[in-house]
Structure 1
């Protein structure tokens, strides 16, 4: 190879380096997946109301005992933003995931006096206030912030199935002997059930309490954003 050929080859390499290598790095950075980081892109779009027959749906009335053997009702949460879930302490499947996600939200909003959590057992025969007290210590120190509730089974099931339209029932074919759905209900300061819309413009109604590796954003991450929106409302 003569001297001119070497010079030509060097010129080609330099031009390629200057033009194409930066583009390759740009593409790699663009496609990079960042894991184990909770990101929040707060949307200012107001959350939707859940409506039935053109009537805004409020949280159903309830009154149950908490882990401190104190009566707690829906009236106690007027002026507060709160979450409602159904669970049971012996649940070996989704409940630990749900309550760890609630613990994350409880810790995140630990300085927000207007944010609360309500966990209602679907196994009240076993989950007495004493049992709930011991169980709650795995997740929270202050019962004023997070109430674990128990009561008469038929009232709890009526609240879940008819009040929230969330399935809760005895089912020996399910692990632990009970079947319930792994969703969180988000309630605003005036007692209305609220949610963000899906990509088609319809309310999602409830938020997933379990982690889905295929979901573009987890239910708890959506809640982190949407709780902030409701806390800003009067």
Structure 2
């Protein structure tokens, strides 16, 4: 029996109110629209679009689908690096010694989860304003798209959003070493009108001794990370 016929039968027999009947009718329209979209795409293309997605082989690149929080006990030494910040200066983890560091990987043209993480960084920046300004907390971002994310572009991006973070870039070789050290899978795919950089959504919370204390995968919530920050620094 079709959904449309079922709606008419429920309506005639009075076994559902107007709201339920309307909801079923809307569902039928939406289902039909979805089916029409699927039928309009060649079967081979539908299968290829799924099979070619890096999320099939590396589900952590999907961001919103994989969310985990790991407490690293007793703490693992955070791999050091030296990259270029938005002012053109070299910055490394050792330069941030004594600070709690929140480290994430993203790129400015990202159309998916990266803007959410950037927004969460701003939320934490406001909440821990005194710690950021006082040099107790460092917010660090590392690009996964060095071809586009030049220091000049990162400066513009940061100023537009009022960020108080260090956004780092560098040459491909230097960045590849950092991505590998922190388990960041990266894959570039050219689509019809754009280049998409699929990458792992991993974030690390590093204590003042340079030890990784918490590891997050996926798009975390700022309140969850804030609690872990307070465990390392005290209440905001």
Give the TM-score range, shorter chain.
0.5 to 0.7
Q: Which residue of 2 aligns with 1:49?
A: 72
Q: TM-score if structure 1 supplies the norm length? A: 0.63
Cα distance in 2 for residues equivalent to 1:169 and 1:88: 13
Q: Which residue of 2 aligns with 1:168?
A: 186
Q: Gaps spanning 5+ residues in structure 2: where?
A: 1-69
Number of aligned residue pairs: give it.
162
| Structure 1 vs Structure 2 CA RMSD | 2.4
Deviation at 1:49, TM superposition (A): 2.7
Indicate the structure with greater helix content.
2
Partners of 1:121 and 1:150 within 8 A in 2: yes
Q: Which residue of 1 aligns with 2:223?
A: 221
Residue correspondence of structure 1 range 98-117 to structure 2 within 5 A: 98-112=117-131, 113=134, 114-117=136-139
Q: Gaps spanning 5+ residues in structure 1: where?
A: 1-46, 196-204, 211-217
Q: Which residue of 1 aligns with 2:111?
A: 92
Higher gyration radius (CA): 1
From 124, 139, 161, the counterpart of 1:139: 161
Q: Which residue of 1 aligns with 2:216?
A: 206
Deviation at 1:50, TM superposition (A): 5.3
Q: TM-score if structure 2 supplies the norm length? A: 0.62
Give the match's secondary structure for 1:57. strand
Give the match's secondary structure for 2:183. coil
Q: Which residue of 2 aligns with 1:77?
A: 96
CA distance 1:166–1:219, change in 2 (3 Å): farther
Cα distance in 1 for residues equivalent to 2:224 and 2:137: 16
Partners of 1:122 and 1:169 within 8 A in 2: no
Give the match's secondary structure for 1:89. coil
